[in-house]
Amino acid sequence: NAGVTQTPKFQVLKTGQSMTLQCAQDMNHNSMYWYRQDPGMGLRLIYYSASEGTTDKGEVPNGYNVSRLNKREFSLRLESAAPSQTSVYFCASEGNYGYTFGSGTRLTVV
Amino acid sequence: AQSVTQLGSHVSVSEGALVLLRCNYSSSVPPYLFWYVQYPNQGLQLLLKYTSAATLVKGINGFEAEFKKSETSFHLTKPSAHMSDAAEYFCAVSDRYNAGNMLTFGGGTRLMVKP
């Protein structure tokens, strides 16, 4: 089925560990986004990419890096995880009819 | 900067009762406004959107929302709640840029439907 695929679905990290969250879309969309969801705060934009090879900071970029190597894939990297990064992470891509969201990655940093 | 306020983090209604979820926005330009629904352990799904056409917008699953510029509001309603409507609802405002729309979300409202 066409859509946005995120991996992994769940992850537990120790403080200081690194990891990359993967996101891929098969809808030929140009724009892609990474959000984090925390209780009572809705979704907050971490980074976005308007097209292949371009990325820009969103509202809460500190502690994260992103990579848009091709049109399909937009990855989010945590270089040194902190407990404050415990959250649910959503990737989305944008087409003519709006956003399509992935099913999320639930990350716990202990 | 855009912002969205959703009044009431939790709303409880009885099955068959009116659903009203409140959203107020702040925007320096004519806004695009959205309502999304999130079921447990899933991503967000678009319910409806306002993009400067008709002020009363009809969405999926019997929901609708009315854009009121004078009140800077975009409240979501459904005449009769169903058990399957229990979910979290997010209002969002769009900040348009060259390539698309960055969404700013409200804090969400969890709708509970009692039998």
Q: What is the pLDDT of residues B38-49, one digit of tens each?
A: 998 888 999 999
pLDDT of residue A41: 86
What is d(CA A56, CA A65) in angstroms, rounded to the nearest whole number? 10
Residue owning tokens 């306020």 = B5
pLDDT at residue B75 tops 90: yes
Q: Where would I find the beta strands (DSSP E) of A1-110? A: 4-7, 10-13, 19-25, 31-38, 42-49, 56-57, 64-67, 75-78, 87-95, 98-101, 105-109
Q: What is the per-residue pLDDT across B3-34, written as a single tens digit (0 to 9) for each?
A: 999 999 999 999 999 999 999 999 877 788 99
pLDDT of residue B31: 83
pLDDT of residue B96: 76
* Residue of A88, A99, A105, A106 to mutate when probing chain B, most B C-beta within 10 A: A99
Contact A30 B99 (CB under 8 A): yes
Interface of A with B in 17-36 (CB under 8 A): 30-31, 33, 35
pLDDT of residue B95: 79
Binned at pLDDT 50, 70 and 90, residue B98 comes out as low
Among A61-65, B35-39, B101-105, the minimum mean pLDDT is found in B101-105
pLDDT of residue B30: 78
Is residue A101 packed enough to be buried (19+ CB in 10 Å), middle (13-18) or exposed (0-12)?
buried
Q: Does B23 touch chain A (CB under 8 A)?
A: no
In the predicted model, residues of chain A with pLDDT beneath 50 are none
